Chains A and B, each alone.
Chain A
Amino acid sequence: MRALTIFKSTFINALRSSIPANLDKYLRDDVWISESSTRSAREMQTGVEAAEPLSLEPPVDGDHKDTANAIRLHRALRHLTPLQARDPRLWTRLAHVELWPYMRLRWDASKHMANRERAIRFVETRYFVAQSQSRALLRHGIARLWWTAQLSHDPDRENPYELTMVLLSTLDITQQIVERGMGRAKNIIHGFLGFLLANRELLLTGGDKNRVRIRRLAKHLNMYGGVCVLDLLSQSEITDLLSKELERILTLESAGADGGKSA
């Protein structure tokens, strides 16, 4: 396997500050980055190797292929340490070079070109790791795939990526659980996703009603986390908390007290 190449920080700074000037290049299908600088000014080799070739399935007709690609990427880079996996030099490079064809299809800047400022922000968020905070990693087009797989990977399950499928089944679940701090604790995220999976008929069959239920469950857990150290509860205790809340939600729905309002 080949060692991973990353961008140099100085190059990323220059590339990022040149987004307005380069905006049209983000509409091109070919990899254009070599036009921007010499190789030595742009990139450096690391001692880290990918376990499998780095390639992602192209999204087609509304199917983003997020789950399949998260698993693929995580398998290829499963040995990354958290410190390596938060490094903007890696993700910016992958988004602009090795996985550019995927990025063009999945995070197509042309959809935002009607509003130039919005298009610049879009490129900055999806092609660069904009800040040193976790939210930026979870919004980056490639980093988000690795991190969602990493957080939901459960080696105790027959299919260790079973919960990754749940997590990426809708963007809403990702936002409700991963972007809240509690989603970084393995017992909490695994408990929450496991509960959704166990109640798939009530929670994962799509539609507004299910979405509202998931939001309410996440909100309840988050609020409960304000008075209780959720991190030290077992997954079955997390499940019990969610079961009681779901029961309450369903009772309210059947009593019509909900009035169809969303959370």
Chain B
Amino acid sequence: MRLSARSYPHPVLGNRDDVPGAGFQAALEMSADKECIYIAADVTCSCETLNALLNDGRAAYVLHVECSNTLFRRAYEFREPHHRISIGADNLNDAVEVNVFVRATDRIGGYRLPEAHPDYADAAFDIQRGDILAVGEGQVFYVESDFDSLSRIGSIMQINESPKDGDIPMEPDFNGDKIVIFLSKNDFAEYKVLKLHEGVRDPLATIIVLPVLVEAINILMKESDGLEDTRRWVRALARRIESLGLNRESPPLLLAQKLLELPVKRALSSSRMLVERGGS
């Protein structure tokens, strides 16, 4: 459920300036193991009226989880301000939206919030069961269930045959979940044969993957939202740079070579071995 600021028929804590005299925050954390995704919420509510309703059981917290990728949508009700839920890892993938609310668990007649905006004056509202009384700042998490966690940089790239004819330069497409490198039909046919030979694998990676990775790092630094980017390859690359403790401000060519573990050195070394074995 994508929540935008909206006009409710009654004052809602956390929505615009409906209730300026109080706050509602939910700190959310997601973690995972092979079996489950865990979402922990730590809720703080400074509205006395709502806290009283929560204590009386006439209102409850709600953790709302929605994953458009797997059509998963579920709401979890809880009473304590600290709560953790677990969801089977088979249910979520990619972007997962999490929102926290307070909802009425009963009908509440004559609902008034002293902390509400003065425009509400002494107005009283008839609240129905289920009505939202407070909204927290929603958060989007990314679950990488079926995606290689970039143990090798190659896992964020795919090399494909270009649908275009003729001798054309290689062309990367950075718009999808993976970077797709299109090679001309002839080049792709050669690539398919050559990549099976261990001696040329490293030189091949250097001439195809290295320049594309440099361009990808440029995109990551200049145009993307890093870990918040909707493209998986961007998030994976950002995480990889972070996990290796590399400086994101380094020149992209330097970073790319560190990520690929000195590809020029490896290419030269395997080429020398190939020559020495009489493979030239």
Known A-B contacts A82-B71, A184-B72; A229 and B160 likewise in contact (beta carbons under 8 Å): no
B132→A18 contact, CB < 8 A: no
The range of chain A's interface size is 35 or more
A-B contact pairs, 24 of them (CB 8 A): A10-B158, A13-B160, A13-B180, A14-B161, A14-B163, A17-B160, A82-B91, A83-B92, A83-B146, A85-B70, A132-B69, A133-B68, A134-B69, A134-B71, A184-B72, A184-B73, A227-B9, A227-B131, A228-B130, A229-B130, A229-B132, A231-B64, A231-B74, A233-B129
Contact status of A227 and B68, CB under 8 A, knowing A18-B163, A86-B93: no
Chain B, 58-74, contact with A by CB distance < 8 Å: what is the 0/1 string?
A: 00001010101111111
Number of B residues with CB within 8 Å of any CB on chain A: 45
Please indicate the chain B residues that have their CB under 8 angstroms from the CB of A185 in the complex: 73-75
* Chain A 67-94 per-residue mask, 1 if CB under 8 angstroms from chain B, else 0: 0000000000000011111110000000
Q: Would you call B158 and A133 a contact (CB within 8 A)?
A: no
Known: A17-B163, A83-B146, A229-B62. A132 touches B177 (CB 8 A): yes
Q: Are the C-beta atoms of A83 and B64 separated by less than 8 Å?
A: no
A-binding residues in B (CB < 8 A): 1-2, 6, 8-9, 62, 64, 66, 68-75, 77, 88-94, 101, 103, 128-132, 145-146, 158-163, 176-178, 180, 182, 192
Is A82 in contact with B90, judged by CB distance below 8 angstroms? yes
Q: Are B103 and A232 in contact (CB under 8 A)?
A: yes
Most buried by B among A10, A13, A133, A233: A13
Residue of A nearest to B62 (CB): A229
Interface membership of chain A positions 1-22, coded 1 if the CB is closer than 8 angstroms to chain B and 0 otherwise: 0000000011001100110110
A230 touches B (CB below 8 Å): yes
Asked whether, in the complex, the Cβ of A87 is within 8 Å of the Cβ of B69, the reply is: no
The answer to the question of A226 belonging to the interface, with a C-beta cut-off of 8 Å to chain B, is: yes
Cβ of B79 to closest chain A Cβ, rounded Å: 13
Q: Mark A144-163, 1 if CB is under 8 A from B, else 0.
A: 00010001000000000000
Contacts of B161 in A (CB 8 A): 14
Q: Are A228 and B163 in contact (CB under 8 A)?
A: no
Nearest-neighbor residue (CB-CB) of A37 within chain B: B161
Q: Does A237 contact B (CB under 8 A)?
A: yes
Is there contact, CB below 8 Å, between A237 and B129?
yes
Complex CA–CA separation, A120 to B8 (angstroms):
44
Docked-complex contact B62 and A232, CB < 8 angstroms: yes
Complex contact B130–A132 (CB within 8 A): no
Cα A228 to Cα B62 in complex, Å, equals 11
Are B130 and A14 touching (Cβ within 8 A)?
no
Which residues on A sit within 8 Å (CB–CB) of B1? Answer: 181, 225
Which residues of chain B are near A225, meaning CB under 8 Å?
Answer: 1
Further contacts, 7 of them, CB under 8 A, given A83-B92, A84-B90, A229-B64: A82-B72, A83-B91, A134-B69, A226-B6, A229-B75, A229-B101, A232-B62
> What is the distance, in angstroms, from A119's C-beta to the closest C-beta of chain B?
16
The residues of B that contact A21 with a CB separation of less than 8 Å are 163
Asked if A123 lies at the interface with its beta carbon under 8 angstroms from chain B, I say no
Chain A residues lying within 8 Å of B90, measured Cβ to Cβ, are 81-84
Interface residue? A137 (CB, 8 A): yes
What is the CA–CA distance of A14 and B163 in the complex, to the nearest angstrom? 7
Residues of A within 8 A of B88 (CB): 81
In the complex, residue of chain A having the shortest beta-carbon distance to the beta carbon of B89:
A83
Residues of chain B within 8 A (CB-CB) of A9 are 158, 178
Tell me, in angstroms, the Cα distance from A184 to B96 when the chains sit together. 14
